[in-house]
């Protein structure tokens, strides 16, 4: 698997997850396994897993996985953060205590194979069947997303519930932007998501732009010779008819002033 940031390639480690389904761009490396059996704190509250809808071959809990969940009363664990079915056939049980995370990996036979003192990466082909807290993308991810949407006009933006990654779906690949800003491409695979996790582009009447644009908005600017994305930093003029914007060119941050009539659309409201 490769990180794409301009022309720099970075290898991503999958922390020993056994991959039985062939997926391109994935490199496995070995890492010492830390066993931890004392992880299950019991609470009387029962939680029902959520389900994602979109998949050609739905990932489902096996009988062995279900027996493990029931035997260990996983959904009654007050520290339970997420439950993930991996495309490799394994099951991830993610626990959180304050700011510390642990993930129990259960193999296809329902046996606890290892425990990691961290989160394991979630791929577009994996399925999150339970999450405790919703997550929000950070500023780095949003910036990477804007660059991708500018490059790929026909892309589909996907924000899965409980997933820290932002997914961008194209006709021939899936792009994932993780929480540290890595842009990862997956060729020839299908992401698992529900239709209500697809972000619908906000439709804005161009006549309303003059009154709608405000400080902090991410806008699409249409110059006579080019189009680019920018952030509105402040406004000035008697009727705030001019906008000061910040944008990036070849990795350098630039600032300039434009009239409101140069705004083509609002990509993200502040």
Give the tens place of pLDDT for each residue, 98-117.
999 999 999 999 999 999 99
Using CA atoms, how far residue 161 sits from 15, 57, 133, 201, 258, in Å, is 23, 20, 9, 18, 37
Q: Where are the domains of the chain?
A: 8-131, 139-197, 206-268
Average pLDDT taken over every residue of the chain: 79
User: Could you tell me which residue, 20 or 189, shows the higher pLDDT?
Assistant: 189
Greater model confidence, 134 or 29: 134
Tell whether the model's pLDDT for residue 135 goes beyond 70: yes
Q: Does domain 206-268 have CATH number 3.40.109.10?
A: no
Q: How confident is the model at residue 22 (pLDDT cuts 50, 70, 90)?
A: very low
User: pLDDT: is 47 or 98 the higher one?
Assistant: 98
Average pLDDT over residues 262-267: 84
**Rounded CA separation 46/177 (Å):** 33
Total-model pTM? 0.59
CB 184 within 8 A of CB 223: no
pLDDT, tens digit, for every residue of 204-258? 455 566 677 889 999 888 875 678 899 999 988 777 778 899 998 877 888 998 8
Q: Which two tokens stand for residue 210?
A: 């003059």
Fold of 139-197: TATA-Binding Protein (3.30.310)
């Amino acid at each position: 698997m490769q990180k794409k940031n301009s022309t720099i390639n970075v290898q991503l480690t999958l922390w020993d997850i056994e991959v039985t389904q062939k997926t391109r761009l994935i490199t496995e490396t070995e890492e010492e396994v830390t066993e931890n059996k004392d992880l299950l704190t019991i609470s009387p509250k029962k939680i029902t897993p959520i389900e994602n809808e979109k998949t050609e071959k739905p990932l489902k809990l096996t009988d062995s996985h279900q027996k493990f969940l029931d035997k260990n009363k996983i959904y009654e664990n007050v520290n339970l953060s997420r439950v993930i079915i991996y495309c490799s056939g394994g099951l991830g049980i993610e626990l959180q205590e304050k700011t510390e995370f642990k993930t129990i990996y259960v193999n296809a036979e329902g046996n606890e194979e290892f425990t990691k003192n961290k989160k394991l990466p979630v791929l577009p082909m994996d399925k999150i069947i339970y999450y405790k807290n919703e997550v929000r993308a950070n500023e780095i991810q949003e910036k990477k997303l804007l660059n991708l949407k500018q490059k790929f006009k026909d892309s589909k933006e996907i924000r899965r519930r409980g997933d820290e990654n932002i997914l961008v779906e194209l006709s021939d690949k899936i792009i994932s932007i993780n929480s540290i800003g890595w842009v990862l491409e997956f060729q020839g695979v299908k992401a698992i998501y529900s239709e209500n996790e697809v972000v619908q582009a906000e439709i804005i009447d161009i006549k309303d732009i003059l009154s709608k644009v405000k400080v902090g908005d991410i806008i699409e600017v249409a110059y006579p010779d080019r189009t680019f994305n920018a952030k509105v930093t402040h406004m000035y003029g008697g009727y705030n008819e001019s906008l000061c914007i910040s944008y990036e060119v070849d990795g350098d941050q630039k600032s300039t002033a434009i009239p409101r009539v140069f705004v083509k659309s609002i990509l993200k409201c502040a």
